[in-house]
């Protein structure tokens, strides 16, 4: 049913708005939150692939009776093909990512419902709103619609940092907003240039106009537009020069919320990345530019992760570094590499969520995030410790876990396209990732317990253990049967090239 497509955005927005009406009726709030959180991953499974035109304004070419009444200048031009309505396109790729986002949102919402005393309030609102915003970015085929939800997601991310009562969260929020408010209008300006050149904001129309030479593909207008949109993309995905602020954002939020924040980042990264790829991949320097930025992100991410002492910042920098692998997939621009990059995106969503929840239990027990003051936590709950260890192996790319499969595909793709240097850097970065993770893991779980470490008399919440276990099962299943995801993705990647 195509009617389900807009519901993926409408249901979380409606839930976000309605939840706070039931303030103080905690049972109603919990029931409603959990029902909606369960519904979120189910809708993409039952929806059919297809397009949804808002307001029913289909392209003129599909409505021949209306078309025949119009002047011949419109009938014979590309205008008859253009999409007048905001269009949502739902395909194999969107299905996978919205499903995974639904699962992660479910765990984030479920954990924060079961661990917080105040169940309603701004955090729930922002979580649902952000989920709706990134779903809309992923579905939308309209570049301005993407911009609107890009701004909404930036506001919700700021809001999520503000609701956590960590130290210096307001400073980080203000920095993120100032940079974001420079990046956002520049993205809008880039969209304006594309609109000025083509006359439409629908990505399919823009691609049609450029590929049929209705506009000059190498005109300065489009080059400038590419620069501005690319800059906005760098900001929103936390590639350099924004890696520091992005990792600061992850580490200032509560662990359950950072799970969602990194999911938002990865999904916006691939959604806008695909849009840029579809529109601008004909540019001669496009691939080089993306590969260079991805490599810088990978190297900077892991090197800055080594220097951190706060484990939340460590994972945050590692998460930024992992984004580089997805970028490599886009940059190499073969069918295999794009499949590998998007598969890596799925894996990163799951693995980083696992690590944030897993290390979040430490924060829950001890209220300390400095690795120098921690130690010996493996005695406290060894099951969680082992599951987090396997999650870290998945991130570093140890077989047979999912991170290994996707990184192997990226290395194969770079060898196939004749860049062995890239594959060497990728392997090195993944080794350093492993090292950083083991350093953090050792200092938290394995080294002798410091004498002044108190607390840890509480139990790890069961909801966290369940979330870690299920995410770990997804990791192992995807590692053993990668074709569950890659079949759908390679189908999409074929259409992209």
Partner 1 sequence: MTDILLILGDTQLMSLFTAAAFIVVGLFAAIFLDNIIKKIIGIAFIEEGANLFIVALGYKAGGVVPIFLPGMSADWFAANSAYPLPQALVLTSIVIGASTLAVMLAISMVLYKKYGTLSASEILGDKKTQTLAEKNAGDNNE
Q: Which of 8, 136, 173, 333 binds partner 1 (CB under 8 A)?
A: 173
- State the nearest-atom distance from the C-beta of 199 to partner 1, in Å: 7
* Binding region for partner 1 (CB under 8 A) out of 4-12, 183-191, 322-330, 349-357: 183-191
Q: Which of 359, 269, 357, 349 shows the shortest CA–CA distance to 314? A: 359
Give the nearer residue to partner 1 in terms of CB position, either 70 or 494: 70
- Position 238 contacts partner 1 (CB under 8 A): no
- State the nearest-atom distance from the C-beta of 171 to partner 1, in Å: 6
Binding mask 71-110 for partner 1 (x = CB under 8 A): x-xx------------------------------------
- Report the C-alpha gap between 284 and 293 in whole angstroms: 16
Give the nearer residue to partner 1 in terms of CB position, either 56 or 71: 71
Q: Which of 299, 290, 256 shows the shortest CA–CA distance to 467? A: 256
24: three-class secondary structure by DSSP: coil
Helix axes 335-366, 462-480, angle to 10 degrees: 160
Give the nearer residue to partner 1 in terms of CB position, either 252 or 407: 252
- Position 303 contacts partner 1 (CB under 8 A): no
310: three-class secondary structure by DSSP: strand
- Position 415 contacts partner 1 (CB under 8 A): no
- What DSSP character marks residue 202? B
Residue 28's Cβ-count burial label (10 Å; 0-12, 13-18, 19+) is middle
The encoded tokens of residue 344 equal 């890596």
- Report the C-alpha gap between 226 and 152 in whole angstroms: 22
- State the nearest-atom distance from the C-beta of 67 to partner 1, in Å: 13
Which residues lie across from 7 on neighbouring strands?
A: none
* Binding region for partner 1 (CB under 8 A) out of 22-30, 172-180, 365-373, 487-495: 172-180
- State the nearest-atom distance from the C-beta of 309 to partner 1, in Å: 15
- Report the C-alpha gap between 107 and 471 in whole angstroms: 9
Kind and range of the H or E run holding 395: helix 382-396
Task: Calculate the CA dihedral of residues 428, 430, 433, 439 and round it to 10 degrees.
Answer: -80
* Binding region for partner 1 (CB under 8 A) out of 70-78, 323-331, 370-378, 427-435: 70-78
Give the nearer residue to partner 1 in terms of CB position, either 170 or 282: 170
Which residues lie across from 42 on neighbouring strands?
A: none
CB 452 within 8 A of CB 367: no
- State the nearest-atom distance from the C-beta of 153 to partner 1, in Å: 12
- Report the C-alpha gap between 50 and 279 in whole angstroms: 21
- Position 70 contacts partner 1 (CB under 8 A): yes
- Position 208 contacts partner 1 (CB under 8 A): no
- Report the C-alpha gap between 435 and 422 in whole angstroms: 20
Q: Which of 51, 80, 92, 189 binds partner 1 (CB under 8 A)?
A: 189
* Binding region for partner 1 (CB under 8 A) out of 107-115, 174-182, 338-346, 428-436: 174-182
Q: Which of 241, 450, 455, 495 binds partner 1 (CB under 8 A)?
A: 241
SS3 content of the chain, % helix, strand, coil (to 5): 80, 5, 20
Give the nearer residue to partner 1 in terms of CB position, either 78 or 189: 189
* Binding region for partner 1 (CB under 8 A) out of 6-14, 130-138, 228-236, 477-485: 228-236
Residues 118-157 that bind partner 1 (CB under 8 A): 144, 147-148, 151, 155
CB 197 within 8 A of CB 222: yes
- Give the count of residues interacting with partner 1 (CB under 8 A): 44
Handedness of CA 174, 362, 455, 466 (dihedral sign): positive
Q: Which of 42, 45, 57, 196 binds partner 1 (CB under 8 A)?
A: 196
Handedness of CA 357, 362, 365, 370 (dihedral sign): negative
- Position 309 contacts partner 1 (CB under 8 A): no
- State the nearest-atom distance from the C-beta of 7 to partner 1, in Å: 22
Interface with partner 1 (CB under 8 A): 70-71, 73-74, 144, 147-148, 151, 155, 158, 162, 170-171, 173-175, 177-186, 188-189, 192, 195-196, 199-201, 227-228, 231, 234-235, 240-242, 244-245
């Amino acid at each position: 049913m195509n009617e389900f497509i807009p519901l993926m955005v409408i249901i979380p927005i409606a839930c976000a708005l309605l939840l706070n009406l039931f303030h103080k009726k905690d049972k109603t709030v919990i029931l409603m939150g959990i029902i909606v959180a369960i519904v979120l991953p189910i809708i993409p499974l039952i929806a059919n692939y297809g397009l949804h035109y808002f307001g029913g304004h289909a392209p003129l070419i599909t409505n021949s009776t209306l078309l025949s009444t119009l002047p011949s200048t419109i009938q014979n031009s590309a205008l008859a093909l253009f999409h007048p309505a905001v269009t949502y396109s739902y395909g194999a790729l969107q299905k996978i990512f919205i499903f995974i986002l639904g699962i992660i949102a479910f765990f984030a919402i479920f954990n924060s419902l079961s661990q917080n005393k105040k169940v309603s309030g701004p955090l729930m609102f922002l979580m649902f709103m952000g989920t709706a915003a990134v779903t809309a970015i992923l579905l939308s085929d309209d570049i301005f619609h993407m911009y609107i939800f890009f701004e909404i997601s930036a506001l919700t991310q700021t809001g999520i940092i503000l609701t956590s009562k960590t130290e210096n969260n307001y400073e980080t929020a203000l920095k993120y907003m100032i940079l974001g408010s420079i990046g956002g209008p520049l993205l809008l300006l880039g969209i304006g240039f594309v609109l000025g050149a083509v006359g439409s904001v629908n990505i399919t129309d823009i691609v049609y106009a450029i590929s049929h030479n209705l506009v000059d593909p190498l005109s300065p207008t489009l080059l400038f537009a590419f620069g501005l949109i690319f800059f906005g993309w760098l900001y929103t995905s936390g590639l350099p020069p924004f890696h520091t602020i992005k990792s600061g954002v992850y580490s200032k939020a509560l662990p359950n919320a950072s799970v969602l924040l990194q999911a938002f980042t990865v999904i916006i990264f691939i959604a806008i990345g695909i849009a840029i790829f579809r529109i601008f991949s004909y540019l001669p320097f496009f691939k080089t530019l993306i590969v260079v930025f991805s490599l810088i992100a990978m190297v900077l991410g892991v090197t800055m992760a080594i220097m951190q002492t706060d484990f939340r910042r460590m994972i945050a920098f590692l998460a930024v570094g992992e984004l580089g692998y997805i970028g490599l997939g886009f940059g190499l621009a073969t069918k295999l590499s794009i499949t590998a990059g998007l598969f890596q995106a799925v894996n990163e969503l799951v693995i980083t969520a696992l690590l944030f929840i897993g290390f979040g239990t430490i924060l829950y027990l001890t209220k300390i995030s400095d690795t120098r003051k921690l130690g010996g936590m493996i005695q406290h709950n060894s099951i969680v410790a082992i599951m987090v260890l396997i999650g870290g192996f998945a991130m570093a790319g140890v077989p047979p876990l999912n991170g290994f499969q996707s990184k192997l595909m990226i290395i194969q793709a770079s060898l196939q396209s004749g860049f062995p240097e890239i594959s060497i850097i990728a392997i090195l970065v993944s080794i350093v990732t492993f090292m950083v993770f083991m350093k953090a893991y050792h200092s938290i779980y394995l080294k002798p317990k410091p004498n002044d470490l108190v607390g840890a008399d509480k139990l790890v919440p069961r909801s966290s253990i369940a979330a870690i276990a299920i995410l770990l099962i997804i990791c192992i299943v995807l590692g053993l049967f990668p074709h569950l995801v890659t079949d759908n993705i390679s189908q999409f990647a074929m259409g992209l090239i």
